[in-house]
Amino acid sequence: MKNIFYIVILLFYLNGYAQKYFPKLNNLFLQQSGSESLFSDDLNYFREGLLAANNKLFYKDLQTSNSRNAAFYSTSLIPRFITEVNFLETGMLLKFNAKSKDEFPSFPVIFNEFFDSNDGGKFGQGTIDIFDGGISLAFTDKQISTSSKKQNDEKPEFIVKKISYKINKDKLSIELDGNFKTDISIKKQKFAKDLLQKLKIEVVKQSFIVSCINPSNNKDILIIEFKSK
């Protein structure tokens, strides 16, 4: 009887544990390497940075649809044990903002990606729609500052609503649509929080830059310039 009791307890424990298991996001994306990857050797440092940032992200409620040259994913991301990552030690924080009251807070995302190849190598493009303010970028005061004294305790933070990207063997171009949470100042230029709605990330061999577009003249304003060691 005692052994049966322990077996019942063990089965109950394992069942509860299984219900709380979620697979890692990195198991779904960015696992290809070498000739199978869209990231060339020159851009692989950025892929490694993404893998490190996503290491504690999990997913649930996955829906997929795939064809030869396209893929669709709808899922909810669950940040576990972390809420922010210093991306490639640049000082730019990649933040995960799951605020639901569930036991395992999450936020929904939708991935659409398209890929192909030609004589010049593989290339791809896609979009990621992010809901409920689930992902944001926060910056140091040297990169961007809040322009109001009342907001000085808040880090300048950009809420990302949509990511669009294009990649080939030489370059990864990323556009982030969204808005800042506070009024900001970049290189002594002041902007209302809703005025700057797009950030750009250009990734090339061993370096990348982060910039925004000045809506008054459509010129880029440099925020971060990073060179891989």
Strands (E), the chain: 57-66, 70-79, 84-86, 93-96, 107-118, 121-130, 135-138, 145-146, 157-167, 172-180, 184-186, 189-191, 198-204, 207-214, 219-227
Instruction: Give tens-digit pLDDT for 64-97.
Output: 998 888 889 999 999 987 789 999 999 999 999 9
Mean pLDDT of 22-35: 75
Q: What is the pLDDT of residue 188?
A: 85
| Calpha distance 172→216 (Å, rounded) | 26
Q: What is the pLDDT of residue 27?
A: 83
Higher pLDDT, 6 or 189: 189
- Show the tokens assigned to 193: 């929080």
Looking at the 3D structure of the chain, how many domains does it have?
Answer: 1
Residues 6+ apart with CB under 8 A from 39: 46, 47, 167, 172
Higher pLDDT, 188 or 72: 72
Is the pLDDT at 26 greater than 60? The verdict is: yes
Mean pLDDT of 191-196: 90
Q: What is the pLDDT of residue 83?
A: 85
Mean pLDDT of 4-32: 58
Q: What is the pLDDT of residue 13?
A: 42
DSSP 157: E
| Calpha distance 76→60 (Å, rounded) | 5
- Whether 125 contacts 113, CB under 8 Å: yes
Instruction: Give tens-digit pLDDT for 102-158.
Output: 788 999 999 999 987 664 557 899 999 999 999 999 999 899 998 665 555 678 999
Is the pLDDT at 207 greater than 70? The verdict is: yes
- Whether 163 contacts 128, CB under 8 Å: yes
Mean pLDDT of 192-220: 92
| Calpha distance 223→79 (Å, rounded) | 27
- Show the tokens assigned to 184: 């900001």
Query: Domain of 102?
Result: 2-227
Mean pLDDT rounded to a whole number for the chain = 84
